[in-house]
Homo-oligomer: A and B are copies of this chain.
Amino acid sequence: MTETGPDEAVPGESFGGVTPDAARRLLLAAVEAFAERGFHATTTRDIASRAGMSPAALYIHYRTKEELLYHISRVGHERTVCLLTAAEQSGHSVTERLDGAVRDFVRWHAAHHTTARVVQYELAALGAEHYAEIVTMRRRTEEVLRGLLADGVSAGEFTVPDIPGTAVAVLSLCIDVARWFRTDGPRTPEEIGALYAALVLRMVGGEPREADYQ
């Protein structure tokens, strides 16, 4: 489990299972290029040359440039939904569950900020059908968070007058980490995860564990 290193040392962690090797290399090259320039400003020639191949090689493994984006988006969304549901189903108090959810979610967005940037900010370039599928997964993400907030209110641990609005705000906060995070910045993904978990617990009127929030 090297996924929490200070750098994006294992950028393909989520794509490790993709075969054949050339298909994975193309996927990683696309992530890099899309994150750097955006989908529409990236050329298929750029992706192929980053993967050390000719432009035509791309079309052996993927039918279109959009399909590459779709694969990246799907794997990324599966990963984030997975992170959140895991935190939701861990057996501690609601405060600890929300703390863990935000911490892991933010840490992933920082550690894999290149992938996360594509996953979170290039949605609009998807085709209509793929877009609809991804939006469904995003709704699931929001539902998990709303459920956590509602549980916290029921348990008397949180005070949240507007649960849907607060859920959107919390997701905004966490997702946006992918936009501004730089590997050479002053904070590690762990530190940002801890900071954001504390901030979110304050937002929901919980009791932050001040030990973590120096």
Q: Which residues of A are interface residues toward B (Cβ below 8 A)?
A: 37-38, 40-41, 121, 124-125, 161-162, 165-166, 168-169, 172-173, 175-177, 179-180, 187, 192, 195-196, 199, 202-203, 205, 213-214
A194 CB to closest chain B CB (Å) equals 10
> Chain A binding site: helix, strand, loop or mixed by DSSP?
helix
Chain B neighbourhood of A161, CB < 8 A: 213-214
Instruction: Please pick, from B37, B38, B199, the residue contacting A169 in the complex, using a CB distance under 8 A.
Output: B199
Instruction: Using A41-B125, A124-B37 as known contacts, say yes or no to A166 and B199 having CB atoms under 8 A apart.
Output: yes
Instruction: Please pick, from B40, B162, B173, the residue contacting A40 in the complex, using a CB distance under 8 A.
Output: B40
Instruction: Using A38-B124, A173-B173 as known contacts, say yes or no to A180 and B168 having CB atoms under 8 A apart.
Output: yes
Task: Return 30 A-B CB contacts under 8 Å, by A number.
Answer: A37-B124, A38-B40, A38-B124, A38-B125, A40-B40, A40-B41, A41-B125, A121-B121, A161-B213, A162-B214, A165-B187, A165-B195, A166-B195, A166-B199, A168-B180, A169-B173, A169-B195, A169-B199, A172-B172, A172-B173, A172-B176, A172-B177, A172-B179, A172-B180, A173-B176, A175-B176, A176-B176, A202-B202, A202-B203, A203-B203
Chain B neighbourhood of A180, CB < 8 A: 168, 172
Instruction: Please pick, from B162, B177, B196, the residue contacting A195 in the complex, using a CB distance under 8 A.
Output: B162
Chain B neighbourhood of A205, CB < 8 A: 202
Q: Which B residue sits closest to A122, measured CB to CB? A: B38
8 tightest Cβ-Cβ pairs between the two chains A and B = A40-B40, A172-B176, A40-B41, A199-B203, A165-B195, A173-B173, A202-B202, A161-B214
A76 CB to closest chain B CB (Å) equals 17
Chain B neighbourhood of A166, CB < 8 A: 195, 199
Most buried by B among A37, A124, A202: A202
Chain B neighbourhood of A202, CB < 8 A: 202-203, 205
Most buried by B among A168, A180, A196: A168
